[in-house]
Chains A and B, each alone.
Chain A
Amino acid sequence: MVKNNHQEDANSLRNHVKVSEITSHDRRSNLTPTKRTIATPSKFNSQIALSPSLLESRIASPRKHKLGISSPKKTPAKKRIAPSAAKPSLVDPDFNPLEETQRILRLRISQVNKPPVISGYEKERKQLYDLMKRTATTGESNSLLLIGPRGCGKSMLIQRVVEDLHSDVAVKENVQLVQLTGLLQTDDKLALREITRQLKLENTVGDRVFRSFAETLQFLIEALKKGDQASKPIVFILDEFDLFAQHKNQTLLYNLFDVSQSAQTPICVIGVTCRLDVVELLEKRVKSRFSHRQLYLFNKLTLSQYRDLCRSYLTLCSDFPDQDFADTWNKNIQCLLGEVSVKDILERQFSLTNDVRGLITLLTYPICQVNAAHPRVTAADVVTSFKLISTDTKSAMLHGVSTLELCLIIAMKHLTDIYDGEPFNFEMVYSEYQKFAQRRSGMQVYEKPVVMKAYEHLQTLELIKSHAGGGGAQVQKEYKLMSLLVHPSQILDAIQKYPGCPTEIKQWASQSIC
């Protein structure tokens, strides 16, 4: 039944497309309020706001080939013509607006494309841009740390600034970019090799770098020392900067900062990190050479901006080929975001994390659910998605254990209650279990080896863990001290939903102390 409904939905949408072709132009003239707000992001002075037209234009051309969509009918050129010149259904008989929508939205949330345009962080962006530009034009050496929590747009900001720099030809020619990541360049040796490779110095042939570590360092220092104000400025971008601070002696950082503080090749060192206390990680002499410029980025989204952001992630923009479909879609999204349950879920997600990544996680499931049989995003999708995100993993895991294992968990819970968090061993759990099984229930009492097996299974699931000070490997497994890693509320929660849970067990679990 449900499927039929969906198909009807799809059909009605398509019919709608055909019927309303004539009126499409009129419609476009009086845009929905949604679009008007998107067109002028400054209106809601947001920190981060997507401008869908830019997003779209990026998606439109360069990704085409990589995605393997090489059908000649879908070339970008035609697309640009489509909305203005002719009616799309005539130009492109097998153009499927739903498929196209799906593609666009999926690319948006998977962030394959360049990150969305930011209209917040104006001040920070200007400062960063000025700094890098001064390095490029006047040859001034600088260092800067970009600090902010995960998912607040640090890399995006840098990427945007670099793009801006490259748009100016005079600047682009005068700057060399070296990008390092603390996760890949795990020690100075690898980092130095990567630097010489990216700078294409003389000791590189193709992609290989010769010479030993010590020689590479001396070579690089010498190369940088030889340079003066006439040589090309280099911008070093160190992602995960805090990991570079864990290298031995912080040699790389010392040398980079030292070059930036002496009359050698002009360089600009930009560190990107999420640790607020990163400057305290630096050694005293490295810290002294660092110029202490710090840029802080924070998630400053408000709830209304968060809603607007959600809308701009879901709406199709004005250069979508099939305008009528886009209009219907957008109206539908507008309705969706007006629904109480969706509003409530957005608010809850926002109260948990106020960054864009949380929103993307929330939207992934609904967007992936869109298909011909289910042509629109419904409130139920969003609710399901939130439920999937917020499931308690441990109670979900408890649904899959056997009754005996559940009994053992309850026995452990009682032991933890009685002895106030003290660790327990297998023998204690077993006697607790026996007490219950013999006295109170008509259940089968399992023998010790069987119970032991169940106990070990719980251990491999990491629902119980060997206690820190619980003896070494010499202790027999029956007497090893363990502690329970399940919270009592999770146990009660799991037992409520456990399929076919015997009543005795339920009662036993709910008794506080037995």
Chain B
Amino acid sequence: MPKRAVNRERPTLPSRSGPKPTPKNDLEEARARLHVSAVPNCLPCREKEFSDIFGFVESKILDGTGGCMYISGVPGTGKTATVKEVLKILEAERDDGNLQDFKFVEVNGMKLTEPRQAYVEILKALTGKEATADHAANILNKMFTVPAPRSSPVVLLVDELDLLWTRKQDVMYNIFDWPTKEMARLIVLAVANTMDLPERMMIKRVASRLGLTRMTFQPYTFRQLEEIVASRLKGLQVFDSDAVQLAARKVAAVSGDARRALDICRRSTEIAESRTEDAGGEAVVSMSDINAAVEEMFCSPKILAIRNLAVQEQLFLKAVVAEFQRSGIEEADFCKLYDQHQTLCRFEGIHVPTMTELSAICYRLGSMRLLLTEPGSRDLSMRIRLNVSQDDIMYALRADIPS
């Protein structure tokens, strides 16, 4: 057996050949800045949340005590980015010598294969040792409960907290129990999506240890989204100001997710580029580009899909609608649909497909999820439902609309 030639510490990926080209024009520069990964140094519109978290962590470090904070909010509202920014400032302070030494550990529930791996990750970040989950839990327990002088405070960020849920909730319990220990000096920042997670999922003794220091990140309003985009584009004249507002309003109406707003703006720069490719000259992203990008990202393709189906497939959808209207129930047996389809075919004067062909059609529509079907082994007694509204089907199949 070959010996493991494994460099455990530094896994690397091959690097690219040749340097990366620098952005050629304003549009490309804007695209690079609008990428979600290009997090700015100072997050706009989250000043209050920033100062709250900063105050909390700083005071705990200064006091030499431990504590928990629960941060919630829908995805894309800047939770993780804000927390990381706080820690970045604190680390800068520490390096300047204005603040006592502390360690920052980060665990993300989604990046673990199972909840107990959290122990392994925390231990690895604190001491660099590798251990099994049980062993790591023991070491950590000892570390936080046995008083050790001169130990520095630890700030633990637990992202995607809901995934650390287990039946006995021992992982959550431990994480929130350690800060209450006198000697631990552990500050836990727990981040999750739902506001009522402690009440809904946690048993009482865990929720009680989590405490009441909570913070909610509200979805961005359209003004805030506009400001975020504007702050990233500072100094560049590529966007029509109304265009940014349109994108911000569209996103704020749906989710208030900053990632979506940035993605839409980035996509619209691409559209603008391809639009002005032939014409030449400086491209400015206009309202129509934003509109095209929004359409592309939010539109439902189902009507287009129905229009591009084969004739018999369209007829089958009509048969489903007809059968639903006849029976008044939004579910029908395949057997009944076959009869209905036969009638429609005779009515239209086209060949009646055999049962085999029709079931193939049915499965094809099922695989696209225009229909919801049961497993094919149920055959004639298979129940079929629509995954589109009946109005959509009738609208898509109306003859007077050019496809």
Contacts and interface: CB of A to CB of B under 8 A. Distances in A.
A394 B334 CA distance: 15
Given A217-B111, A231-B16, A288-B75, A299 B37 contact: no
B105 interface: no
A390 B23 CA distance: 58
B17 A173 contact: yes
A219 B297 contact: no
B28 interface: yes
A505 B39 CA distance: 80
A391 B359 CA distance: 12
Interface stretch (B210-218, B282-290, B305-313, B324-332): B305-313
A487 B74 contact: no
B379 A465 contact: yes
Interface residues of B, number: 83
B353 A352 contact: yes
B308 A299 contact: yes
Interface in B343-361: 350-351, 353-357, 360-361
A276 B353 contact: no
Interface stretch (B64-72, B89-97, B225-233, B259-267): B259-267
Nearest to A227: B13
A278 to B, nearest CB: 8
Interface stretch (B148-156, B238-246, B366-374): B366-374
A174 interface: yes
Interface string A206-217: 100010011001
A232 B267 contact: no
Contacts of B5: 202, 205
B377 to A, nearest CB: 8
A221 to B, nearest CB: 6
A348 B351 contact: yes
Interface string A474-496: 00000000011111011000000
Interface in A82-138: 126, 130, 137-138
Contacts of A214: 112-114, 117, 120
A231 B13 contact: yes
A392 B361 contact: no
B338 interface: yes
A202 B6 contact: yes
Given A217-B113, A275-B367, A487-B380, A222 B11 contact: yes
Given A254-B110, A263-B37, A276-B301, A232 B14 contact: yes
A439 to B, nearest CB: 30
Contacts of B236: none
Contact of A130 (B112, B270, B356): B270
A292 B211 CA distance: 37
B193 interface: yes
A394 B75 contact: no
Contacts of A277: 369, 387
Nearest to B19: A230
Contacts of A220: 11
Given A150-B367, A205-B2, A354 B309 contact: yes
Majority secondary structure of chain A interface residues (helix, strand, loop or mixed)? mixed
A414 to B, nearest CB: 16
B311 to A, nearest CB: 4
A170 B18 contact: yes
B163 A249 contact: yes
B275 interface: no
Interface stretch (A72-80, A139-147, A312-320, A334-342): A139-147
Contacts of B351: 348, 351
Contact of A298 (B36, B305, B378): B305
Contacts of B355: 392-394, 487, 490
Given A288-B257, A291-B263, A139 B16 contact: yes
Contacts of B7: 202
Interface in B264-321: 267, 270, 274, 296-298, 301-302, 304-305, 308-313
Contacts of B369: 275-277
A255 interface: yes
A199 interface: yes
B267 A293 contact: yes
Contacts of B360: 352-353
B356 A201 contact: no
Contacts, number: 216
A218 interface: yes
A188 B114 CA distance: 12
B13 A224 contact: yes
A352 B112 contact: no
A262 B37 contact: yes
A1 B391 CA distance: 60
B137 to A, nearest CB: 15
Contacts of A203: 6, 11
A390 B353 contact: yes
Interface in A328-376: 348, 350-354
Contacts of A293: 263, 267, 296-297
B111 A255 contact: yes
A390 B357 contact: yes
Contact of A174 (B2, B18, B310, B377): B18
B312 A351 contact: yes
B392 to A, nearest CB: 12
Given A150-B364, A348-B351, A490-B355, A201 B296 contact: no
A223 interface: yes
A289 B259 contact: yes
A34 interface: no
A182 interface: no
A420 B114 CA distance: 53
A269 to B, nearest CB: 14
Contacts of A140: 31-32, 35
Given A227-B13, A229-B20, A285-B110, A485 B381 contact: yes
A35 B6 CA distance: 60
Contacts of B305: 149, 276, 296, 298
Nearest to A263: B37
A234 B335 CA distance: 49
Nearest to B335: A487
**From A231, A300, A353, residue with most partner B Cβ within 10 Å:** A353
A52 interface: no
Contacts of A299: 308, 310
Interface string A250-265: 0100110010011111
A438 interface: no
Given A227-B13, A251-B113, A210 B6 contact: yes
B204 interface: no
A284 interface: yes
A166 interface: no
Given A219-B11, A231-B15, 15 more contacts: A130-B274, A147-B301, A176-B14, A214-B117, A218-B111, A231-B12, A261-B37, A284-B74, A288-B255, A292-B297, A294-B301, A296-B301, A352-B310, A353-B364, A485-B380
28 contacts: A130-B274, A140-B31, A141-B37, A149-B305, A174-B18, A206-B2, A210-B6, A222-B11, A226-B10, A232-B16, A258-B110, A261-B36, A261-B259, A274-B367, A275-B369, A276-B368, A276-B369, A285-B110, A348-B351, A350-B310, A351-B311, A352-B312, A352-B353, A353-B313, A353-B361, A390-B356, A393-B355, A487-B380
Interface of A: 126, 130, 137-141, 147, 149-150, 170, 173-174, 176, 188, 199, 201-203, 205-206, 210, 213-214, 217-224, 226-227, 229-234, 249, 251, 254-255, 258, 261-265, 274-277, 284-285, 287-289, 291-294, 296, 298-300, 348, 350-354, 390-394, 462, 465, 483-487, 489-490
**Closest 6 pairs (CB-CB, A-B):** A288-B75, A298-B308, A223-B11, A392-B354, A351-B311, A354-B310
